[in-house]
Amino acid sequence: EVQLVESGGGLVQPGGSLRLSCAASGFTFSNYYMTWVRQAPGKGLEWVANIKQDGSEKYYVDSVKGRFTISRDNAKNSLYLQMNSLRAEDTAVYYCAREFTAVTAEGWFDPWGQGTLVTVSS
Amino acid sequence: SYELTQPPSVSVSPGQTASITCSGDKLGDKYACWYQQKPGQSPVLVIHEDSKRPSGIPERFSGSNSGNTATLTITGTQAMDEADYYCQAWDSSTAYVFGGGTKLTVL
């Protein structure tokens, strides 16, 4: 069974840092792009970042560029999101997801983990 | 930046057909996909590449995409289909984009 399990969320003060982890199992992790998507309380979905199979390419939504860093360890089947200079507007449930891509490079996400809540507040 | 627009809510009677739209500039030139999210749960992919259903997704879910609008259609809607639905596409300037979500009420 394909499974993604996030961890590392919690309460952090504005300006603080947090590192999220996503443990993957049930598939060959190194064969897939992986992605992070977040959802603020009561709001919609927002794509945050993704990373190529070998980690050589990384992409971010503008609002987190320079503050968040996505990485992966294929030997440990794990995906990470290092979040620095956190702001109140980063408060959200953060989901990791496996990414599929069509021949056109357009992609979709399946499955998603259960999510981990990050709360940025003083 | 690229944007996708969905109606905030759609209502349907049990057994009837529900249609949820997603609009974006020349969306028909891109692939659209759809996710279902029930309260307190993670999103689940129900349609990818405009009209393809992942394994395990009931046949009553279908999709289409043409012009500026992608549509998710649920035929014979059941109470268990009540959820939020999000469309998503990829754009070269914005990367991945989600619609704002549509709350489907089955009443």
Q: B69: helix, coil or strand?
A: strand
Q: Which residue of A has its CA nearest to B30?
A: A106
pLDDT in tens, A61-87: 999 999 999 999 999 999 999 999 999
Q: Which residue of A has its CA nearest to B34?
A: A108
pLDDT at B94 (0 to 100): 85
Indicate which of B93, B96, B98, B102 best probes the interface with A, i.e. most A CBs within 10 Å of its own CB.
Answer: B96
pLDDT at A56 (0 to 100): 96
How high is the mean pLDDT of chain B?
Answer: 97
pLDDT at A103 (0 to 100): 79
For residues A36 and A102, give the distance between their C-alpha atoms in angstroms, rounded to a whole number: 19
The HSE-up count of residue A36 (CA atoms within 13 Å, CB side) is 33
Interface contact B54-A110, CB threshold 8 A: yes
Chain A residues whose CB is inside 8 A of the B99 CB are: 44
For residues A97 and A100, give the distance between their C-alpha atoms in angstroms, rounded to a whole number: 10
Chain A residues whose CB is inside 8 A of the B89 CB are: 106
Q: Is the pLDDT of residue A12 over 90?
A: yes
How high is the mean pLDDT of chain A?
Answer: 97
The HSE-up count of residue B61 (CA atoms within 13 Å, CB side) is 23
Query: From start to end of chain A, where are the E strands?
Result: 3-7, 10-12, 18-25, 33-39, 45-51, 58-60, 68-73, 78-83, 92-101, 107-112, 116-120
Strands A92-101 and A116-120: antiparallel
Interface contact A100-B48, CB threshold 8 A: yes
> What sign does the dihedral A34-A36-A42-A44 (CA atoms) show?
negative
A–B interface: beta-carbon pairs under 8 A? 57
**B19-28 exposure pattern, b = at least 16 Cβ within 10 A, e = fewer:** ebbbbbeebb
Q: Which residue of A has its CA nearest to B1?
A: A62
For residues A79 and A91, give the distance between their C-alpha atoms in angstroms, rounded to a whole number: 20
The shortest CB-CB distance from A47 to any of B98, B99, B101 is to: B98
Q: Which residue of A has its CA nearest to B96?
A: A47
Chain A residues whose CB is inside 8 A of the B72 CB are: none
pLDDT per residue as tens, chain B (107 positions): 999 999 999 999 999 999 999 999 999 999 999 999 999 999 999 999 999 999 999 999 999 999 999 999 999 999 999 999 999 999 988 899 999 999 999 99
pLDDT band at A60 (very low <50, low <70, confident <90, very high): very high
What type of residue is B28? G
pLDDT in tens, A91-122: 999 999 999 988 777 899 999 999 999 999 99
Interface contact B31-A100, CB threshold 8 A: no
For residues B31 and A54, give the distance between their C-alpha atoms in angstroms, rounded to a whole number: 25
